[in-house]
A and B are shown apart, each in its own frame.
Chain A
């Protein structure tokens, strides 16, 4: 029981099981974040004065350490996956809201005027013109949010083995098996890269209308590197 893929029984999962758990804990929050970010961003694009305060709030929330979130949430949601996922969903907003707002705003005045002049109402115009044209920017944001979420799930290990692959880090110490830590880090990294590649593929499929070589504006990339964030989180 010392192989690379031999997982201690206290985690109650095989290696593949941990991967599945990790993906669920990482991706559901991003999905929830996207569902929340879409209407928030729509409001910010519609009422320009709203954007700076919204951006401020999401940034402040991003600055709250996940441990602090856990302390508050644990009274309500206990030592569960949900307690891990709620902060992750909140963190994803800081990337997704600006990505969607920038994307929606990048639609040219001419295109908007043409849509209005052809008889598109505001909602139809948002759904059929602005949002589709914002897809490259939204996916750029989704990539950052997803990769960062995958690396952040590991902190769930702090509240009783809710960190999926992150739990291996704790077990590596308990059982003096450094190979488990290597497994955790490598698997998480490979997972992040694969999911990122998948999102690039999704972008290519969804936007056949983009000139090849044209890159979407990646303002989101100016956010902290996910790896660095993961490091900070681990240090907390």
Chain B
């Protein structure tokens, strides 16, 4: 565990970058430091590997005060990933990744073998090994940055806005990759970002810092969304925190209606038997069980269902796997107001109305409040 104990960073000109900050960063999890620019998040990160020395307070790792450790060996025990990757432009990809093992005295062959292993782990093609950084895309460079940080298998990974400079689609891919790697390796990651969405997506714990380097709130992301500590945190979370919070609730609890579903080859009797005043539309499915579209029951003629005339069904959600947010999104996107639920193979297993989703949200919130009470 990394323990930051009432740490202050004051510069000679009197600016206070970090103000009496205390944090306990749990092992084998992602702790995100998030806040507006000037909130001291990068300074805090850099105090952990002593690129910045605190003016007051102590930082310990597993009980050992880092200020008593030799600085270069401390740094070599921590991976560091930076915005724009900061690769060595004069070294090949494989040699970039092998940097820290080489500093630790590994032989060239062993370090390179390890580097190739890591390229695979972060999803880089082996053919890139002998290339130079300028020959790679921004996203690939960032992967090299992550591989380089992991090369000596350090227990701690410090990441300073690593994905800020890449476009949103690449960023999403890198975030997923990071979560996957974290599942496999279980590092203690401290991640700095100014992007609250990224913080909520990646963080096991999220520390929101305010300008002047003071801690505003330190909580798991779901708690941050449900009960922001003050108006600063609330503003920082943005206007749709209610919607975003739904990401943390499973769609498993949604009760699916199975009646308004007819196969494309249904008989007139089957269509008639599915008609129900509570469900003004029927969902037509293909012979493979996948959704085709919605229709009013009276427009459906057995044996002559014209699939191109059906109403679009929007985007289905995977029941039990996707969150309530995805289910709500599916319902909002559907012109009939009904969300289509599918199983892992994409076959329709039911439909659910906005109203039902609304009820599920209310009961999830109620349970959330109960949990909060228990936790409190």
Contact = CB atoms under 8 A, between A and B. Distances in A.
A209 interface: yes
A113 B51 contact: yes
A198 interface: no
B87 interface: yes
Contacts of B92: 209
B54 interface: no
Contacts of A114: 80, 82, 85-88, 145
By size class, the interface of chain B is 20 to 34
Nearest to B42: A113
A110 B90 contact: no
Contacts of A133: 88-90
**Range of interface residues on chain A?**
20 to 34
B100 interface: yes
B51 A111 contact: no
Interface in A94-137: 108, 110-121, 129, 132-133, 135
Nearest to B76: A119
Contacts, number: 70
Most buried by B among A119, A207, A210: A119
A84 B49 CA distance: 53
Interface in A56-76: none
B11 interface: no
A111 B73 contact: no
A208 interface: yes
A209 B90 contact: yes
A118 B76 contact: yes
Contact of B132 (A117, A119, A209): A209
Nearest to A107: B89
Interface of B: 49, 51, 71-76, 78, 80, 82-92, 99-100, 103, 132-135, 145, 148, 158
21 contacts: A110-B85, A111-B87, A114-B86, A114-B87, A114-B88, A115-B86, A116-B51, A116-B75, A117-B49, A117-B82, A117-B158, A118-B75, A118-B103, A132-B90, A207-B90, A209-B89, A209-B91, A209-B132, A209-B134, A210-B134, A211-B134
